[in-house]
């Protein structure tokens, strides 16, 4: 193992970066979210409006992260940007939240999702499902530890498979003739029995945004991307654009196949669409497609997240050993192992569901702070990528985040408060443990 602080090698190109954005973002959400949104909105027009609005604001966010990645092309992503704009204290709290709580929880949740959809194809007892989920976590972590190219290669393969499967699904859905374009009529008016439009829009915004969750994670690999000042802004913008197109087309084919009246629940919606397209085996076909989608998201997440711990360790905000880079593989093996082991422990204990739910609010706060940091930082020098339309463009993304924070805070105040409280436990840790250690080392 190399000495702590050794640099990561720049081996990833535009294709791998785009694959990470698309691979992490498109997961199980697109198979369940359209049904929930359609039921709440009751109108194809308003469903399209929500996707376009969230897609446009997410694109603004992608441009913001693109500028930050171009200005600070090092591993860590949001951790680095918070450090530069708001200071090491805020950056530590972000890393504290990621390392000890959110990342292991998401790792466990994705592993459980893989096992759940595998069970549709191969019936397994509950204990075996947990073992399979842990095995998948450890396998993907091992691939990522073997080198950035190995991890990017697997991720690209899964992302291409995911897009091909979804593209085939869209084309076959329309070409099969088993749906009805009459399901789109009336196009604007809400269907009879729909709830209030305001409530539908609120729920739709939350569901749609979380279907875009994770596009910013590619910036965590900025230290391993070739020509990051040029590649990362393009990868973020292109990735979000691809995701938006896929989401709109997938929602359209689902509504073509299943009328609004058939959207009682996401699972029932999928079952109906699957039977119409593939007959009695439709459920198994959809399970296989979702399995590939979740595996892709998991591979991307396990590749990106450990770079935050690596960056924290380099700055002396975490155990220095986590900054070690393997001399042969060129990856932060110890940081990768920490995430995989913590995620596996949570999965074995079965306590990850609440963890993810409790820290959504805090995570959105840090994303908002990251983008708002553009207004605290001096404008970049000529030749560096700049957010088009600044200072208006960041506001578009911040408005969406503000709306989501209001909705989540009002709808789930206990979860939001608990997440903030746990995050704030990091304050005394930083004040009485991290700062003294950094002073001693200096």
Considering Cα of 364, then 94, then 234, then 304, what sign does the dihedral take?
Answer: negative
The band of 19, judged by pLDDT with boundaries at 50, 70 and 90, is very high
Query: What are residue 13's phi and psi, to 5 degrees?
Result: -105, -170
Q: Which two tokens stand for residue 290?
A: 């979702």
Alpha-carbon 272 to chain mean position: 28
pLDDT greater than 60 at residue 173: yes
- pLDDT at 442 (0 to 100): 58
d(CA 238, CA 232): 10
Instruction: Tell me the mean pLDDT in the region 83-89.
Output: 94
pLDDT greater than 90 at residue 120: no
pLDDT greater than 80 at residue 171: yes
Contact 198, 50 (CB under 8 A): no
- pLDDT at 59 (0 to 100): 96
For residue 179, give every residue at least 6 positions away whose Cβ sits within 8 Å of its Cβ, in sequence order, or none: 173, 253, 256, 257, 258, 276
Instruction: Tell me the mean pLDDT in the region 375-403.
Output: 92
- pLDDT at 299 (0 to 100): 92
- pLDDT at 385 (0 to 100): 92
Length of the chain: 442
Domains of the chain, CATH where assigned: 14-435 (1.20.1740.10)
- pLDDT at 384 (0 to 100): 86
Average pLDDT, the chain: 87
Helix axes 103-121, 282-304, angle to 10 degrees: 160
Q: What stretches of 258-351 show up as alpha helix (H) in DSSP?
A: 266-278, 282-304, 306-314, 333-349
Per-residue pLDDT tens digits for 49-64: 999 999 999 999 999 9
pLDDT greater than 60 at residue 6: no
Instruction: Tell me the mean pLDDT in the region 161-188.
Output: 88
Instruction: Tell me the mean pLDDT in the region 2-20.
Output: 78
The band of 441, judged by pLDDT with boundaries at 50, 70 and 90, is low
Report the alpha-carbon angle 92-98-102, nearest 5: 150
- pLDDT at 5 (0 to 100): 47
Q: Distances from the Cα of 265 to the Cαs of 36, 45, 109, 179, 262, in angstroms?
A: 7, 20, 21, 19, 8
pLDDT greater than 60 at residue 270: yes
Nearest to 400 by CA among 86, 61, 33: 61
Contact 305, 102 (CB under 8 A): no
Instruction: Tell me the mean pLDDT in the region 101-117.
Output: 88
Percentage of the chain beyond pLDDT 70 is 95
Q: Which two tokens stand for residue 180?
A: 């009805």
Instruction: Tell me the mean pLDDT in the region 151-178.
Output: 90
pLDDT greater than 60 at residue 4: no
């Amino acid at each position: 193992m190399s000495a702590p602080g050794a640099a990561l090698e720049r081996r990833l190109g535009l294709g791998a970066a785009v694959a990470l954005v698309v691979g992490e973002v498109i997961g199980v959400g697109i198979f369940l979210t359209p049904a929930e949104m359609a039921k709440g909105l009751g109108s194809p027009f308003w469903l399209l409006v929500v996707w376009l609005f969230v897609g446009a604001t997410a694109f603004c966010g992608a441009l913001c992260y693109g500028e930050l990645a171009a200005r600070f092309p090092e591993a860590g992503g949001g951790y680095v940007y918070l450090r530069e704009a708001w200071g090491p204290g805020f950056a530590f709290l972000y890393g504290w939240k990621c390392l000890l709580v959110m990342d292991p929880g998401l790792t466990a949740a994705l592993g459980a999702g893989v096992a759940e959809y595998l069970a549709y194809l191969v019936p397994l007892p509950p204990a075996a499902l947990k073992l399979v989920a842990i095995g998948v976590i450890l396998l993907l972590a091992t691939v990522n530890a073997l080198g950035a190219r190995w991890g990017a290669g697997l991720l690209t393969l899964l992302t291409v498979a995911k897009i091909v499967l979804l593209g085939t699904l869209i084309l076959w859905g329309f070409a099969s003739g088993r749906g009805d374009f009459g399901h789109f009529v009336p196009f604007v008016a809400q269907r009879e029995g729909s709830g209030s439009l305001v409530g539908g829009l609120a729920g739709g915004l939350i569901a749609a945004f979380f279907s875009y969750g994770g596009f910013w994670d590619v910036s965590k690999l900025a230290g391993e991307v070739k020509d990051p000042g040029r590649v990362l802004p393009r990868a973020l913008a292109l990735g979000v654009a691809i995701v938006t197109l896929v989401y709109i087309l997938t929602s359209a084919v689902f509504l073509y196949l299943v009328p609004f009246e058939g959207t009682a629940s996401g699972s029932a919606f999928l079952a109906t669409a699957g039977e119409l397209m593939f007959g009695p085996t439709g459920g198994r076909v959809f399970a296989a497609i979702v399995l590939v989608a979740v595996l892709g998201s998991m591979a991307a997440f396990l590749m990106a997240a450990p770079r935050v711990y690596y960056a924290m360790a380099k700055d002396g905000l975490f155990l220095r050993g986590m900054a070690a880079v393997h001399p042969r593989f060129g990856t932060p093996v110890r940081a990768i192992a920490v995430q995989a082991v913590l995620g596996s422990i949570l999965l074995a204990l079965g306590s990850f569901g609440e963890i993810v739910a409790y820290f959504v609010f805090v995570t959105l706060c840090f994303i908002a702070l990251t983008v708002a940091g553009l207004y605290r930082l001096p404008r970049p020098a000529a030749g560096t990528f700049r957010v088009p339309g600044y200072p208006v463009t960041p506001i578009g993304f911040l408005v969406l985040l503000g709306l989501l924070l209001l909705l989540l805070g009002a709808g789930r105040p206990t979860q939001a408060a608990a997440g903030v409280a746990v995050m704030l436990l990091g304050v005394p840790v930083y004040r009485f443990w991290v700062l003294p250690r950094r002073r001693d080392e200096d």
